[in-house]
């Protein structure tokens, strides 16, 4: 009996180890010994994507129309084989990511049935194509689900699928997360789909071209997070009273009717906003007075006359601005205008400016350009951290940084990075723009560090040697930054 207990414990340990491996590596363990032969078949996380189960030559063949059909057939064959070998128990997550259409519905429905029988908690069906349009998207098989078999499903992500729930659809009773990516669904069908999702906490809608109106007021207060990205026909969003986080990317639309909301975290990216301060002081207070974190990404093309007494955001703790000072004409913004934020958010603890000064008339500040402007004192007793990126060393940038440094009584860190990593479009950067990074680094070290009497200013040093013969985009693109970091690490190891 002791020996049997030992074997059971050993098998449990092996299953735990294998469950931590990616599916491809887990399957390879079957060649190690007879004990490992079927261990991978109890894998709890089934990532069935092109990249995980298809070789590179198949992926490269996918860019041709004739290759796409052959790949779909091979992909289906492999997914079927994996699921047939799996023991069908205790599956936490199933991801099927490939270029499939409604003509493959028989196989897809079989995989959905497998997910139901294995009591899967997270199901992903993502059939998006980035090369070729889909002729006929897969019609999601609502008829497979009923009140008894859908109780385990907690997270559902669907991509490039047609959703037409039947009139008597009872909803996913225990669903907590729903993501729809490039999904074909009308306003009415979306309302029906959501109508009985009483446990829904997260709703994400991405690139859904048929939706014109999004109403979540009928949902329970369980819904806390709403993400809406690039839905071109969307005209209005009605929020439910329990929502705490909203992320919106797209044309500027009304976010909520007048009323009291508990929304505390808001992120907006819109090319329709041409002056961030105007938007903050005229659009937000009436509908969203309790914001604790605000992220705003937009272009700065205009300058408005600021109110003498700006409205105060007494709950705001964290403000992040991602601003591109660019456009078809010369921008006329004055960055020192943003000093009013200190007065408008008296309890703010973290402030971030991510700027991209995409203009030809860049001028690094020198004393010959005149004395730096100073504003009346405005002590701030809560601001602890300030991050300024895209600091090119221009006069108004330096004036704003000086003002914040002088008035932030409890400031613990002011981080200055001349690279506009968050706010810029790397593909639109001028080849020699990287030399502006050098200017920003020099100005910050010469003037800000000199004015820092508490040792809180930290400047990312960018020298001329760092940017010579290196295109600017390579210094700001997250992909290239990570690539170069990995390359340097590899060289150090060798």
- CB neighbourhood size of 63 (10 A): 11
Q: Is the pLDDT of residue 444 over 70?
A: yes
**Predicted local confidence at residue 63, as pLDDT:** 64
**Looking at the domain assignment, is residue 455 inside a domain?**
yes
CA distance 492 to 486: 10
pTM for this model (two decimals): 0.86
Domain of residue 463, residue span: 276-494
Average pLDDT over residues 383-399: 97
Could you tell me which of 326, 343, 335 has the C-alpha nearest to residue 380? 343
CA distance 278 to 287: 15
Q: Is the pLDDT of residue 445 over 70?
A: yes
In angstroms, how far is CA 45 from the centroid of its own chain?
A: 23
**Looking at the domain assignment, is residue 169 inside a domain?**
no
Position of tokens 């005229």?
282
**Looking at the domain assignment, is residue 75 inside a domain?**
no
Q: Which two tokens stand for residue 192?
A: 């029906």
Q: Which two tokens stand for residue 377?
A: 């004192």
- 306: DSSP letter: P
Q: What is the pLDDT of residues 287-334, one digit of tens each?
A: 677 899 999 999 888 777 776 777 889 999 999 999 998 754 545 678
Q: Is the pLDDT of residue 3 over 50?
A: no
**Looking at the domain assignment, is residue 405 inside a domain?**
yes
Could you tell me which of 288, 349, 282 has the C-alpha nearest to residue 320? 349
**Looking at the domain assignment, is residue 449 inside a domain?**
yes
**Predicted local confidence at residue 66, as pLDDT:** 72
**Looking at the domain assignment, is residue 127 inside a domain?**
no
- 196: DSSP letter: T
Q: Is the pLDDT of residue 218 over 80?
A: no
**Looking at the domain assignment, is residue 211 inside a domain?**
no
- What three-state secondary structure class fits 51? helix
- 446: DSSP letter: I
CA R_g for the chain = 27
Number of domains in the chain: 2
- CB neighbourhood size of 156 (10 A): 19
Q: Is the pLDDT of residue 344 over 50?
A: yes
Residue 35 φ/ψ, nearest 5 degrees: -65, -35
**Looking at the domain assignment, is residue 131 inside a domain?**
no
Strands (E), 15-145: 45-49, 93-97, 122-126, 138-139
């Amino acid at each position: 009996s002791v020996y049997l207990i030992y074997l059971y414990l050993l098998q449990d340990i092996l299953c735990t180890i294998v469950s931590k491996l990616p599916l491809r590596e887990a399957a390879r363990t079957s060649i190690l010994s007879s004990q490992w032969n079927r261990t991978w078949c109890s894998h709890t996380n089934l990532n069935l994507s092109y990249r995980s189960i298809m070789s590179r030559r198949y992926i490269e063949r996918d860019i041709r129309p004739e290759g796409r059909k052959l790949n779909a057939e091979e992909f289906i064959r492999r997914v079927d084989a994996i699921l047939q070998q799996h023991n069908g128990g205790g599956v936490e997550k199933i991801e099927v990511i490939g270029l499939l259409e409604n003509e493959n519905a028989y196989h897809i429905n079989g995989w959905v049935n497998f997910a139901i029988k294995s009591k899967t908690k997270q199901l992903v069906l993502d059939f998006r194509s980035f090369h070729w349009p889909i002729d006929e998207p897969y019609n999601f098989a609502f008829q497979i689900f009923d009140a008894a078999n859908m109780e385990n499903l907690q997270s559902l992500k669907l991509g490039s699928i047609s959703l037409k729930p039947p009139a008597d659809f009872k909803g996913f009773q225990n669903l907590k997360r729903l993501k729809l990516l490039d999904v074909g669904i009308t306003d009415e069908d979306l309302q029906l789909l959501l109508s009985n999702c009483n446990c829904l906490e997260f709703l994400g809608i991405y690139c859904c071209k048929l939706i014109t109106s999004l109403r979540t007021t009928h949902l329970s207060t369980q819904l806390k997070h709403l993400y809406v990205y690039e839905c071109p026909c969307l005209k209005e969003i009605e929020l439910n009273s329990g929502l705490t986080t909203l992320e919106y990317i797209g044309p500027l639309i009304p976010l909520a009717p007048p009323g009291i909301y508990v929304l505390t975290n808001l992120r907006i990216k819109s090319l329709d906003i041409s002056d961030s301060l105007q938007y903050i002081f005229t659009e937000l207070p009436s509908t969203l007075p309790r914001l604790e974190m605000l992220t705003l990404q937009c272009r700065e093309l205009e300058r408005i006359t600021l109110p003498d007494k700006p409205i105060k955001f007494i709950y705001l703790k964290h403000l992040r601005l991602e601003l591109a000072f660019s456009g078809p004409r010369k921008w006329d913004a004055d960055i020192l205008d943003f000093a009013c934020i200190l007065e408008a958010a008296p309890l703010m603890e973290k402030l971030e400016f991510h700027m991209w000064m995409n203009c030809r008339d860049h001028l690094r500040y020198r004393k010959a350009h005149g004395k730096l402007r100073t504003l009346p004192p405005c002590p701030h007793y809560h601001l602890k951290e300030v991050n300024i990126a895209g600091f090119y060393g221009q006069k108004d940038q330096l004036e704003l940084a000086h003002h914040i440094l002088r008035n932030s009584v409890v400031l613990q860190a002011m981080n200055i990075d001349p690279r506009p990593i968050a706010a810029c479009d790397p593909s639109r950067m001028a080849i020699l723009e990287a030399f502006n990074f050098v200017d920003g680094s020099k100005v910050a070290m010469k003037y800000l560090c000199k004015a820092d009497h508490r040792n809180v200013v930290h400047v990312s040093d960018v020298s001329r040697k760092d940017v010579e013969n290196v295109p600017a985009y390579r210094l700001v693109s997250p992909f290239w930054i990570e690539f170069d970091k990995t390359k340097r690490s590899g060289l150090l190891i060798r």
